[in-house]
Amino acid sequence: MLSAGERSQPHATIVDTVSKARIMPNIAANGTNGVTSSTSKPAQMQHIWVVTGPAGCGKSTVGNVLRTELGIPFLEGDDFHPAANKDKMGKGIPLTDEDRWDWLISLRQAAINALSPSEANNFHPPAGVVVACSALKQKYRDVMRVAAYGSSLVQIHFVYLKLTEDVLLQRVSQRQSHYMKSSMVQSQLAVLEEPKGEWDAITINVEGTMEDVHRNVIDAVTEKLAEYK
């Protein structure tokens, strides 16, 4: 049984061909590799907040709230789907594992890039990054976990937005001009593996009003961050 903060060994169900050297970010806040000199500030922790759940559960909505609250970048997972995936979902055809691997790997790399010193962040890496990514299955979350592999200064968290099929259908039905229609809800729930027992996951019931949900998410993230003080 892992205690909080202890890093589980991600399940090696996916063997990425990407070498560690290519994906490990140079993430220390002071631009070092986490080693601090007497003159530089201690390197800060960086947190990857992956907001997960089936289509329509509120990932984009909550992701934007966390972006603002934490003052860190936000990556919209939908933007990383190739057109073929969007076309497939738009036609009411569920994606397969094969459709998702490259999408997950590109989203993971974008999260790593967002944490690294760059001109985009004036070479002052952010305290983290928010990623909206359904990550329906545990092995998909394992692909994302590789982003924090081997670095004591990067911690990944999954914020799972939990709601009933009825509420999910209601939200997707009411949403305007989105390729994901309510006919896809059941197929999303059919493959969904809730992150039970995954120590780096926070489950939040999101059936309340936007105001209540946003408060609950912010409270949960603030409480989790306090563990790293």
Ligand X SMILES: O=C(O)[C@H](O)[C@@H](O)[C@H](O)[C@H](O)CO
Ligand Y SMILES: Nc1ncnc2c1ncn2[C@@H]1O[C@H](COP(=O)(O)OP(=O)(O)OP(=O)(O)O)[C@@H](O)[C@H]1O
Tokens of 200: 């780096």
When asked if residue 81 is in the footprint of ligand Y (CB under 6 A), the reply is no
71: left (phi over 0), alpha (psi -120 to 50) or beta: left
Chain centroid to Cα 94, Å, comes to 21
Which one of residues 46, 116, 134, 138 is an interface residue with ligand Y (CB under 6 A)? 134
Rounded to the nearest 10°, the torsion over CA 164, 170, 172, 174 is -160
Which one of residues 25, 58, 128, 195 is an interface residue with ligand Y (CB under 6 A)? 58
Write the DSSP assignment of 131-152 as a string of letters: EE----SHHHHHHHHGGGTT-T
Q: Which is nearer to ligand X, 71 or 92 (CB)?
A: 92
Q: What residue 144 binds from ligand Y, ligand X, none (CB within 5 to 8 A, per partner kind)?
A: none
> In the bound complex, what is the minimum distance in angstroms from residue 201's beta carbon to ligand X?
17
Residues that bind ligand X (CB under 6 A): 54-55, 77-78, 81, 89, 95, 100, 134, 136, 180, 188
> In the bound complex, what is the minimum distance in angstroms from residue 215's beta carbon to ligand Y?
11
When asked if residue 61 is in the footprint of ligand Y (CB under 6 A), the reply is yes
CB 217 within 8 A of CB 224: no
Q: Which is nearer to ligand Y, 20 or 215 (CB)?
A: 215
Which one of residues 27, 28, 65, 132 is an interface residue with ligand Y (CB under 6 A)? 132
Tokens of 108: 């993971």
DSSP 3-state of 214: helix
When asked if residue 203 is in the footprint of ligand Y (CB under 6 A), the reply is no
CB 102 within 8 A of CB 18: no
Which positions lie near ligand Y, rule CB under 6 A? 53, 55-61, 78, 132, 134, 171, 174-175, 180, 206, 209-210, 213
